[in-house]
A and B are shown apart, each in its own frame.
Chain A
Amino acid sequence: MSSNSHSDKDIYQVMLLNHQHYAVPVKSIISVLALEKILSLPDTPNWVTGVVHVRNAIVPVVNLSFLFEIDSLSDESRHPLLVLLRHPHDSQRWLALCLTDITQLIDTEQLAETSLRSSPHPCVKHVVDIDSQPLHLLDISKLFEQLMKDPG
Chain B
Amino acid sequence: MNPSLSSATAAFHQEALQTLQQIEDWTLSSIHNPSAVMEQQAETFRLLHSLKGTAASFGNESIAQVCHAIENVLDDKTQLKTQDSEALLMAIDYCRHILSNSPLSPEQHDEHRDECIARLNKLVNDPNSANQTQPGEPSGSVWQIDFAPYARFFENGHDPLRIIRSLRNFGPIKVSVFTEKLPEFADFDPFQCYLRWQITLKAELDYHQLAAQFEWVKHICDVTIDILALPQKKRVIEPNRYKLNEANLEALLTVSQTLQSQLQQTVALTNQLNQTDKIRLSRRNHAMKRQQQLLQQQLLHIAMCPLADAFARLPRMAFDLANKTAKPVQLNMDIAPIELDSFIVNSLIDPLTHLLRNAMAHGIEVAEHRQQQGKPLTGQIHISAEQAEDQLIIRFSDDGAGLAEDKILVKAKQMGINIQDLSDKPKISEWIFRAGFSTSQSADAISGRGVGLDVVKQHVTDMGGDIELVSNQGRGCCFIIKIPVLRSLMDVQLIRIKDQTVALPLIHLIDSYLWDNARVIWLNGKQWFITDENQQVPLIDVGRFLQLPDTERNEQFAHILLVNVDKRFFALCVDSMAEQMHLLIKSLRPHYHHINGIKGIAILPEGDLALLLDSSKLLMSYEMVSGN
A95-126 CB contact bits vs B (8 Å, 1 = yes)? Answer: 10000000000000000000000000000000
B261 near A148: Cβ-Cβ < 8 Å: no
Cα separation A36 to B268 with both chains bound (whole Å): 12
User: How many A-B residue contacts, CB cutoff 8 Å?
Assistant: 81
Central interface residue in B253, B546, B591, B607, by most chain A CB within 10 Å: B591
A37's partner among B594, B595, B609 (CB-CB below 8 A) is B609
Which B residues lie within 8 Å of A150 (CB)?
A: 593-594
> Given known contacts A56-B250, A57-B591, is B609 in contact with A51 (CB within 8 Å)?
yes
Which A residues lie within 8 Å of B611 (CB)?
A: 39, 41-42
A43 near B609: Cβ-Cβ < 8 Å: no
Which B residues lie within 8 Å of A43 (CB)?
A: 547, 595-597
| A44 in the interface (beta carbon within 8 A) | yes
B592 near A53: Cβ-Cβ < 8 Å: no
B595's partner among A36, A41, A56 (CB-CB below 8 A) is A41
Cα separation A149 to B592 with both chains bound (whole Å): 9
B590 near A93: Cβ-Cβ < 8 Å: yes
B257 near A93: Cβ-Cβ < 8 Å: no
Central interface residue in A44, A58, A148, A149, by most chain B CB within 10 Å: A58
B598 near A42: Cβ-Cβ < 8 Å: yes
| A5 in the interface (beta carbon within 8 A) | no
Cα separation A150 to B608 with both chains bound (whole Å): 26
B254 near A41: Cβ-Cβ < 8 Å: no
> Given known contacts A51-B609, A92-B590, is B601 in contact with A39 (CB within 8 Å)?
yes
A41 near B598: Cβ-Cβ < 8 Å: yes
A51's partner among B264, B547, B588 (CB-CB below 8 A) is B588
| A94 in the interface (beta carbon within 8 A) | yes
B537-565 CB contact bits vs A (8 Å, 1 = yes)? Answer: 00000000111100000000000000000
Cα separation A40 to B608 with both chains bound (whole Å): 12
Cα separation A147 to B593 with both chains bound (whole Å): 8
Which B residues lie within 8 Å of A58 (CB)?
A: 586-588, 591-592, 601, 609
A44 near B595: Cβ-Cβ < 8 Å: yes
| A6 in the interface (beta carbon within 8 A) | no
Give chain B's interface secondary structure class: mixed
Q: Shortest distance in angstroms between B193's beta carbon and chain A's nearest beta carbon?
A: 68
B261 near A53: Cβ-Cβ < 8 Å: yes
Q: Shortest distance in angstroms between B411's beta carbon and chain A's nearest beta carbon?
A: 40
Q: How many residues of B contact A (CB 8 A)?
A: 33
B607 near A53: Cβ-Cβ < 8 Å: yes
B228-255 CB contact bits vs A (8 Å, 1 = yes)? Answer: 0000000000000000000000100110
A53's partner among B593, B595, B596, B603 (CB-CB below 8 A) is B603
Within 34-64 of A, Cβ neighbours of B (below 8 Å) are at 34, 36-37, 39-44, 48, 51-60
Q: Shortest distance in angstroms between B484's beta carbon and chain A's nearest beta carbon?
A: 13
Cα separation A37 to B595 with both chains bound (whole Å): 20
Which B residues lie within 8 Å of A147 (CB)?
A: 592-593
Q: Shortest distance in angstroms between B210's beta carbon and chain A's nearest beta carbon?
A: 56
A51 near B250: Cβ-Cβ < 8 Å: no
Cα separation A42 to B265 with both chains bound (whole Å): 26
Q: Shortest distance in angstroms between A133's beta carbon and chain B's nearest beta carbon?
A: 31
Q: Shortest distance in angstroms between A21's beta carbon and chain B's nearest beta carbon?
A: 26
The chain A residue sitting closest to B260, CB to CB, is A53
Which A residues lie within 8 Å of B610 (CB)?
A: 39
Cα separation A57 to B591 with both chains bound (whole Å): 8
> Given known contacts A51-B601, A58-B586, A58-B588, is B609 in contact with A39 (CB within 8 Å)?
yes
Within 574-599 of B, Cβ neighbours of A (below 8 Å) are at 586-588, 590-598
Q: Shortest distance in angstroms between A59's beta carbon and chain B's nearest beta carbon?
A: 5
Cα separation A53 to B608 with both chains bound (whole Å): 8
Q: Shortest distance in angstroms between A35's beta carbon and chain B's nearest beta carbon?
A: 10
Cα separation A147 to B607 with both chains bound (whole Å): 25
A94's partner among B264, B548, B591, B601 (CB-CB below 8 A) is B591
A56 near B254: Cβ-Cβ < 8 Å: yes
B601-618 CB contact bits vs A (8 Å, 1 = yes)? Answer: 101000111110000000
Which B residues lie within 8 Å of A40 (CB)?
A: 500
| B258 in the interface (beta carbon within 8 A) | yes
Which A residues lie within 8 Å of B264 (CB)?
A: 36
Which A residues lie within 8 Å of B547 (CB)?
A: 42-43
Cα separation A33 to B258 with both chains bound (whole Å): 11
A36 near B261: Cβ-Cβ < 8 Å: yes
Which B residues lie within 8 Å of A51 (CB)?
A: 588, 592, 601, 609
Q: Shortest distance in angstroms between B490's beta carbon and chain A's nearest beta carbon?
A: 15
A59 near B250: Cβ-Cβ < 8 Å: no
Central interface residue in A42, A44, A56, A92, by most chain B CB within 10 Å: A56
Q: Shortest distance in angstroms between A45's beta carbon and chain B's nearest beta carbon?
A: 12
B593 near A56: Cβ-Cβ < 8 Å: no
Q: Shortest distance in angstroms between B500's beta carbon and chain A's nearest beta carbon?
A: 8
Which B residues lie within 8 Å of A92 (CB)?
A: 590
B595 near A55: Cβ-Cβ < 8 Å: no
Cα separation A109 to B264 with both chains bound (whole Å): 41
Q: Shortest distance in angstroms between A67's beta carbon and chain B's nearest beta carbon?
A: 15
Cα separation A44 to B257 with both chains bound (whole Å): 26
A42 near B546: Cβ-Cβ < 8 Å: yes
Which A residues lie within 8 Å of B593 (CB)?
A: 147-150
Which A residues lie within 8 Å of B594 (CB)?
A: 150
B598 near A56: Cβ-Cβ < 8 Å: no
Cα separation A78 to B546 with both chains bound (whole Å): 26
Known contacts A56-B253, A60-B588, A93-B590, then 19 further A-B pairs from the complex at CB < 8 Å, ordered by chain A residue? A37-B609, A39-B609, A41-B611, A43-B595, A43-B596, A44-B595, A51-B601, A52-B609, A53-B603, A54-B258, A55-B257, A56-B254, A56-B257, A57-B586, A57-B591, A60-B591, A95-B591, A148-B592, A150-B594
Name the 9 nearest CB pairs between A and B, nearest first: A39-B609, A56-B254, A56-B257, A60-B592, A42-B546, A42-B547, A150-B593, A58-B586, A56-B253
What are 24 A-B pairs at a CB distance below 8 A? A34-B265, A36-B264, A37-B608, A39-B610, A40-B500, A41-B595, A42-B548, A42-B597, A43-B595, A44-B595, A48-B592, A51-B601, A53-B261, A54-B261, A56-B250, A56-B254, A56-B256, A57-B586, A58-B587, A58-B591, A58-B601, A60-B588, A93-B590, A150-B594
